[in-house]
Amino acid sequence: MTHIPTDSAPDIPAAKVASSSAPLQLSEEHHLCPGCGHPVAWRLLLEVISELELERRAIGVVGHGCYTNIVRLADVDFLQCLHGRAPAVATGVKRVQPQAAVFTLQGDGDMASEGLQEVLHAAGRGERITCIMLNNGVFGDTGGQMTAATVVGQRTKTSLDGRDPASHGHPIPVADLVARLPGSVYVARGAVNNAGSIARTKRYLRRAFELQMEGAGFGLVEVLTMCPTGWFVATPEGPDYLEDRFEPTFPVGELKTA
């Protein structure tokens, strides 16, 4: 079977409909594992910031995790703070720079395990910030330990036989908790395991930023991402693992809309 050369742009009339780099992306190189979902979420975030023309107003606050590499890849201002404290730092940024588009980028280890109170209090206060949690159910950056969002039965480095509620407790659905608080105006949970989910997740992120810029209040977008390394699965199995194991515990969709 003949393959088509794919090393350069076509030599017949054609329009480029997708660039390899997102807007504001400085590099396409990153050292995240094969099959990781985080870089897809990064791209959506940068596309949304660009499409809403927030390039000069966006300030990101990141916690600690694999996703923190975005600070090296993106032409956006970032602060890194103590593990789990991003919503508190973002609160301060937004209060002194109310015109800024302030967002946090955190993992489930960062937001649910290390800093659950920070996100709940920020939502409770109704801070006009957008928090983004990339949820893959593991502390990927430190080697794949169990987090508060690890789903029941999930194997991690610290739950090798699968998370057992009798000894490990139950996962904490952060988005559902935040949605219950009157201070939050927009809460959604998306995923990056297929093209349709990715398009929906981008809409959620866009809506959260739009509401922040309208001054409406606190927004949270949780994004389920694949971590085949931490899940001990082959990379092609990541998307189905996410759907079969994560989505029953963390259903995707908008949980609260303004």
From residue 207, give the alpha-carbon distance in Å to each of 50, 78, 172, 257. 14, 21, 24, 9
Task: Name the minimum Å distance from CB 163 to other proteins.
Answer: 25
Residues 111 and 125: their CA atoms lie apart, in Å, by: 17
Is 258 a binder of other proteins (CB under 8 A)? Answer: no
Which residues ranging from 17 to 36 are in contact with other proteins (CB under 8 A)? 17-22, 25, 28-30, 32-36
- Per-residue contact track with other proteins, 196 to 235, x per CB under 8 A? --xx----------------------------x------x
- Residue 88 is a binding residue for other proteins (CB under 8 A): no
Find how far residue 79's CA is from the centre of its chain.
16
12 is an interface residue for other proteins by CB under 8 A: yes
Q: How far apart are CA 159 and CA 191, in angstroms?
A: 24
- Distance, in Å, from the CA atom of 114 to the CA atom of 178, rounded to the nearest integer, reads 16
Nearest Cα residue to 35 out of 240, 229, 244, 232: 229
Q: Tokens at residue 212, please?
A: 């922040």
Q: CB of residue 110 vs other proteins: minimum separation in angstroms?
A: 20
Q: Which is nearer to other proteins, 9 or 166 (CB)?
A: 9
Which residues sit at the interface with other proteins, rule CB under 8 A?
1-4, 6-10, 12-22, 25, 28-30, 32-40, 43, 192, 194-195, 198-199, 228, 235-236, 238-239
